[in-house]
Amino acid sequence: MLPFKADGYNFWTWRDRRIHYVEQGAGKPVVLIHGFGASAFHWRYNIPELAKKYKVYAVDLLGFGLSEKALVDYEATVWMEQVSDFLREVVKEPAVLVGNSLGGSTTLLTATEVPELVRGVVLVNSAGQFGDPNSPPESPPAAAEEEQPESAVTRLIVRPIKEAFQRVVIGFLFWQAKQPARVEKVLKSVYKDATNVDDYLIGSITAPAADPNAGEVYYRMMSRFMANQSRYTLDRLLGKLSCPLLLLWGDLDPWVGPAKAARINEFYQDSTVVNLQAGHCPHDEAPEQFNKALLEWLASLEARTPAAEPEPTLQAV
């Protein structure tokens, strides 16, 4: 198991922000991206095993874990750009991206935006939703503003009241979310076998919430969540994906069940599904099952790569 370090492992400066990451092993790179509220330490049982054959990185997304709690607009593109630059500046060669929950949607967006940096994608009970085929196409933001200009009443009264109400509600949710007992309760609701819901895991989630900026960061993330979900739908992203895809799915997940994995598999031809008897975080709840399935798929990915074809480097990217 990866030892917990309160002061972190490695730090990379990205856009003048401190980004925490773990790096172990040697070989072709595999980059692990955590879910909402988690961190690199959520891969505690996976990093040491994967590092026996691969160079493994686990990075804390901006605003999470030991990475800086930056006061920025948390659009989905922020994390995509962070991961893309991490691949360019730290990893320095095309990698396999593995993402759980929010990390899954981040890996998928990254792979579609910078395909030259990504050799394969692994979605682990990923966030994201399919678009409604009956909904009208979205207008560009600028065009929408021209069609429906904001009135003075809306700008000066309605919007401030709405934002103040949102802040009160989300502030209360943040206060709840950082309580150890609450974190334990939520984890046990999504881990069908709660054996690994321990002090290590709970502490790795609650400790970053002590940062003075954590509450504001939480507000900014939550207020953008639905907009990010509706803008970057799974069908749009999968329609642009061009690399092999593995779906490692906890079938007992009460939030994101196996039906989503089946639909993704049906939608995207170059995909493989492995169903695991676990909940929302199978990599931590059932690490032996997870590691075995992931290592087998990674080996099959290597077999697909022509031996005579050299891997591209990113020095000129």
CATH number at residue 107: 3.40.50.1820
Question: Which residue's entry shows tokens 């931590």?
Answer: 284
Tokens of 228: 């990010």
pLDDT reading at 27 higher than 90: yes
Question: Which residue's entry shows tokens 């590092």?
Answer: 51
pLDDT reading at 67 higher than 90: yes
pLDDT reading at 298 higher than 90: yes
Amino acid 24 reads Q
Model pLDDT, residue 125: 98
**Is 316 a member of any domain?**
no
Residues 6+ apart with CB under 8 A from 154: none
**Is 1 a member of any domain?**
no
Model pLDDT, residue 220: 86
pLDDT reading at 246 higher than 50: yes
Task: Report how many domains make up the chain.
Answer: 1
**Is 3 a member of any domain?**
no
Strands 95-100 and 55-59: unpaired
Q: Are 215 and 170 in contact (CB under 8 A)?
A: no
pLDDT reading at 217 higher than 50: yes
**Is 125 a member of any domain?**
yes
**Is 248 a member of any domain?**
yes
Burial class (CB in 10 A: 0-12, 13-18, 19+), 133: exposed
Average pLDDT, the chain: 87
**Of 65-69, 176-180, 212-216, the least confident:** 176-180
Tokens of 142: 């600028």
**Is 4 a member of any domain?**
no
Domain that holds residue 119: 10-304
Q: Radius of gyration (Cα) for the chain, nearest Å?
A: 20
Query: pLDDT by residue (tens digit) across 97-118?
Result: 999 999 999 999 999 999 999 9
Instruction: List, in sequence order, every residue forming a beta bridge with 97; answer none if it has no partner.
Output: 31, 121
Which of 115, 73, 79 lies closest to 99 in space, CA to CA?
Answer: 79
pTM (whole model) above 0.75? yes
Distance of CA 158 to the CA centre of its chain: 34
pLDDT reading at 305 higher than 80: no
What is the mean predicted confidence (pLDDT) over 23-48?
Answer: 97
Tokens of 100: 């759980």
**Is 19 a member of any domain?**
yes
Q: Is 278 helix (H, G, I), strand (E, B) or coil?
A: coil
Tell me how far apart the alpha carbons of residues 4 and 2 are, in angstroms, rounded to a whole number: 6
What is the mean predicted confidence (pLDDT) over 221-225?
Answer: 75
Model pLDDT, residue 165: 44
Res. 214 pLDDT band, cuts 50 70 90 = confident
Tokens of 138: 């979205």
**Is 251 a member of any domain?**
yes
Res. 142 pLDDT band, cuts 50 70 90 = very low
**Of 206-210, 246-250, 280-284, the least confident:** 206-210
